[in-house]
Structure formats: C-alpha cells, structure tokens
Structure 1
Amino acid sequence: MNFSEKLLGQNEHVILHMRTHVREILLNIVATIVLIVIAVLAFVYLPEDWRPASTVAIVAVAVTLTLVILVWPWMNWLTSTYTVTNRRIITRKGVFTKTGHDIPLTRISNVSYERSMLDRMFGCGSLVLQTSASEPLLLDDVPNVEKVHVQLTELIFHSDLSDQDPYNSKATEA
C-alpha cells in the first residue's frame, strides 16, 4: 500500500515508507496452515454417513476461523504503516477506523532501537523515539531497524551539525 502524496506538505518528500515486519502475522499464517490441515484430515476421516452435513460444517468452521485468524490480522498489518519524510514521522493504522500520529523531526531529541534475539533472527526491531513528552514513541517490528535508525539519525541530527560546522562549505557560504 503506497503512501498518498496528497498527505504531504509543500516541499515534503518521502524518505522511507514501510509496514511492520511480516513476523507480526507469522503465527497467524502458521495457525491457518494448521487449520487447513485439520479441516482436510477431518474431511477425509469422518464417516461417509455423516456427509454432506459434515462437509458443510467443516467448510463453514474453516472459513470462519480463517477470517478471524488470518484475514483480519492481515488486513490490519497491511494498513499499518510507518512513513518517514524529510519533515516528520507518520504512523497510520486501521481498516475501517483510521488512526494516525505525526511527529515533526524537530521534536525528536533521541533515537534508539531495541532488538531481542527473536528480532535479530527476523531482521527487525523496535525503534524508540524520545520527544519532549514523558513517554517515548515506540515503533514495533520495524524491518531493518538498524538501517532505519541510521537514516533517522542522519535526518534529525546531520542538518543541525552541518549548520553549526564552520568547516562545512555550505555553512560558510551562507
């Protein structure tokens, strides 16, 4: 799902656009595969004289559980995005009720990340954005969190340093 350009301000452009790591719905995928295997085994091993009622019941239960276990979480995952622009960090989520949070890059005072052993195995982690608010903003399951951390650090702190650096050719030309 692409980020709508109409949500950007004048001279604002997207640096990164991502959704949470697929690890978020991995257990749902595995559970759905197990559900399908159980449904097939039930269809094969139930007595012949229980058909066609057992077939209808198995299909109805399997479809309902698939909607609950896989389709709804997948739709939530698909619509949950993190976007970094040259001015702000934008979070959006929700299928029917959309919610979002925008943080100007100028309000962020610290960027850090956390990676558990499981996160390292999947190549993701949590990004922690400290602002003047008491609670930091935690972005969970960010793919390639170390690279995103470096890019955010460059965006937030590099422009401040280049303005103050007397050896920077751009700063001396001003």
Structure 2
Amino acid sequence: MAYPDELLVEGEQVVMHKHPHWKMVVVPVLVLLLVVAVGTFLAAVVRAQTWAPWAWLALAVLAMALVIRFTVVPVVRWRTTHFVVTTRRVLVREGVLSRRGIDIPMRRINSVQFRHTIFERILGCGTLVIESASDEPLEFDDVPGVQRVHAMLYQELADTQA
C-alpha cells in the first residue's frame, strides 16, 4: 500500500514506506486462536445444559470482546502505523481514531543508528535511532529490514547534503 501522494509536498517522492515488523501481530493471532479453542471447548461443555442458549450467548459476547480488544485493535494499530522515508523527510504516522505523527526534515538529521538483538536479527527487524536537532534521539522499534533502512536513509542524507 503506497503512502498517499496528496500528503506530500510538491517535488517530494516516497523512497520507502513500511509498517512495523509482522512480529507485532504474532501475539494477537495467538490470542485469537486461544479464544476460539477455549470458547469452542466451553460451548461443548455447556451444550447439554438447560441454560445452554444463555451460556452460549454469554460465551459469544465474551469471546467477541476478547477478540476485539486483543486481536482486532492491535492488528488495526499495526496496519495503520506508517514509517515513511521521502526525498525530504522521515515521517511516522500512528493511530486509528486519533492520529499522531512526527516529521523529521532530512537537513535536521545529525546521525542515524540501528540496533537489533540476535532474535531481531533472525526476524530481520530492529530499532532505528535518529538523532536530530531535538533534545533526545528518536527511536523507532520493530522496523523491518532495519539495516537496509539505515543504509538507504544514510544515502538520502548524503544526497540531501550534496
């Protein structure tokens, strides 16, 4: 999914657009599977009871609430988080109902670093640290292909300064 061109300034082009690494949705998917398994088991247990329709309704409501809170919300949050590098700036947009964003102009970036643990290296993700004119460096967790993003961002910095 490309980043919307109408949000860019004139002459600006998207160099890279990523969502956080897929590892962020592993736990929500496991929660979904667990809720379905436990819900199915409990539905089978109360099947023979005289109050089964009410128990099934209560189980369905509880299961839906758990799935929405612990699966749907995190997956939508993951999908609506954008990490974008353009020819002029780095943009991060997060949020569903209320949006939050940060823009870092290329000319204000002082240094770019990355770090990743052994587990993150296996998965191909890591943390990107951008030091700009602000007080503290900005850290972006779970960036997929963090080494490639680092190299590409460094190249864009060199192109901007040239």
Distance 1:121 1:46, change over 3 A: farther
Map of 1:104 onto structure 2: 105
Report the identity percentage.
29
How is 1:24-173 mapped onto 2 (pairs within 5 angstroms)? 24-46=24-46, 48-49=48-49, 50-160=51-161, 163=162
Question: What do residues 73-93 of structure 1 show as CA deviations (whole Å, max 9, x unaligned)?
Answer: 111111110110000001101
- State the secondary structure of the residue aligned to 1:125: strand
Contact 2:91 2:104 in 1 (8 A): yes
Q: CA deviation at 1:108?
A: 0.7
Q: CA deviation at 1:47?
A: 5.0
Unaligned 5+ runs, structure 1: 164-174
- Which runs of at least 4 in structure 1 moved beyond 2 Å after TM superposition? 157-160
Contact 2:116 2:125 in 1 (8 A): yes
Q: CA deviation at 1:2?
A: 3.2
Question: What do residues 36-80 of structure 1 show as CA deviations (whole Å, max 9, x unaligned)?
Answer: 110011111235114111111111110111000011111111111
Of the two structures, which has the highest relative contact order with CA contacts closer than 8 Å and spacing of 6 or more? Answer: 2
Q: CA deviation at 1:118?
A: 2.2
Amino acid at match of 2:17: H
Q: CA deviation at 1:159?
A: 4.8
Map of 1:172 onto structure 2: none
Q: CA deviation at 1:29?
A: 1.1
RMSD: 1.3
Q: CA deviation at 1:102?
A: 0.4
TM-score (structure 2 length as normaliser): 0.94
* Corresponding position: 1:17 with 2:20: no
Q: Work out the number of aligned pairs and report it.
A: 161
Map of 1:171 onto structure 2: none
Question: Greater CA radius of gyration, 1 or 2?
Answer: 1
TM-score (structure 1 length as normaliser): 0.88
